[in-house]
């Protein structure tokens, strides 16, 4: 079974749909699971206790976990000097610490499976150093650093850890973002087109596929940067 966080919206939702359509068994994790019609758990990934509890429930079911997709995340566009304290805390707590918690708590379930794959999510805003997203970039840079180091720690257990760093994919997260800024971001990609959530699902499929067992510790930006 594959655990997907952020399963109710955007990229996470799209990944769940894709995996399920291919006959994979998916466990969705989200704060709001009311619209999910597959096995799912309500869980706020910024809370260590909630994730731990969710992991216990999954463990008790005796499921074999083969992969973890950490797609949950939040965004907020603010100049660093104008970012409220609470927004700063929320961004770091959910994006960075939440991803770390999920890796710490769910990875042991994958270790028991003897092999697997973990996919974390960064952003194209990291290599660009996007103005107005300093704190968001800090949270996503942290995920990249953590993933590279964690990939080394997990390699002994035959578990690969990679990051996908998408550009502006059309989701709820980018809905309010100025179209000009989106186009500017896209123009920085080597392949300057706006990718869709299905393109991200394609990449996830590759990173989960044991055929690509040589890929670990990588940050992959759709469209290139």
Partner 1 sequence: MNLDDTLNIIKISIKENLEINNISANITDNTSIIGNDSPIDSMGLIQLCLTLEEKAEELNFEFDWTTETAMSKSKSMYRSVKTLSEEFLLQYNQQQ
136 annotated active-site: yes
Residues 158-217 that bind partner 1 (CB under 8 A): none
**What's the closest the beta carbon of residue 143 comes to partner 1, in angstroms?**
20
Of the candidates 222, 214, 7, the one whose C-alpha atom is nearest the C-alpha of residue 117 is 214
Pick 156 or 187: Cβ nearer partner 1: 156
**What's the closest the beta carbon of residue 213 comes to partner 1, in angstroms?**
18
| Three state DSSP letters for 59-116 | HHCCCCCCEEEECCCCCCCCCHHHCCHHHHHHHHHHHHHHHHHHHHHHHHHHHCCCCE
Residues 69-128 that bind partner 1 (CB under 8 A): 104, 108, 111-112
Pick 156 or 214: Cβ nearer partner 1: 156
Among 42, 128, 157, 199, binds partner 1 (CB under 8 A): 157
> Any idea which residue has 């429930």 for tokens?
57
From the list 41, 48, 101, 136, the catalytic residue is: 136
The distance of Cα 133 from the centroid of its chain, to the nearest Å, equals 18
Total interface residues for partner 1 by CB under 8 A = 9
Pick 86 or 156: Cβ nearer partner 1: 156
DSSP state of 5: E
**What's the closest the beta carbon of residue 33 comes to partner 1, in angstroms?**
24
Q: How far apart are CA 117 and CA 132, in angstroms?
A: 33
> Any idea which residue has 């996470």 for tokens?
12
Q: How far apart are CA 9 and CA 32, in angstroms?
A: 9
Q: For residue 159, what are the β-bridge partners?
A: 116
Pick 66 or 197: Cβ nearer partner 1: 66
Residues known to be catalytic = 136
Summarize as ranges the residues that interact with partner 1 (CB under 8 A): 56, 59, 104, 108, 111-112, 153, 156-157
């Amino acid at each position: 079974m594959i655990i997907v966080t952020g399963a109710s919206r955007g990229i996470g939702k799209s990944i769940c749909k894709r995996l399920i359509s291919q006959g994979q068994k998916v466990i969705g994790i989200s704060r709001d699971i009311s619209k999910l019609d597959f096995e799912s758990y309500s869980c706020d990934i910024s809370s260590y206790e909630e994730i731990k509890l969710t992991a216990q429930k999954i463990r008790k079911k005796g499921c074999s976990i083969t992969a973890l997709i950490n797609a949950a995340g939040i965004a907020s566009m603010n100049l660093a000097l104008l970012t409220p304290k609470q927004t700063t805390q929320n961004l770091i707590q959910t994006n960075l610490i939440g991803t770390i918690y999920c890796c710490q708590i769910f990875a042991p379930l994958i270790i028991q499976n003897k092999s697997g794959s973990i996919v974390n999510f960064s952003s194209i805003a990291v290599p660009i150093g996007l103005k107005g997203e300093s704190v968001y970039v800090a949270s996503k840079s942290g995920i990249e650093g953590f993933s590279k180091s964690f990939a080394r720690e997990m390699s002994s257990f035959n578990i690969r850890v990679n990051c996908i760093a998408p550009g502006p994919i059309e989701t709820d997260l980018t809905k309010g973002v100025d179209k000009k800024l989106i186009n500017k971001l896209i123009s920085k990609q080597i392949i300057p087109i706006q990718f869709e959530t299905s393109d991200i699902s394609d990449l996830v499929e590759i990173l989960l596929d044991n055929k690509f067992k040589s890929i670990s510790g990588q940050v992959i930006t759709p469209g290139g940067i």
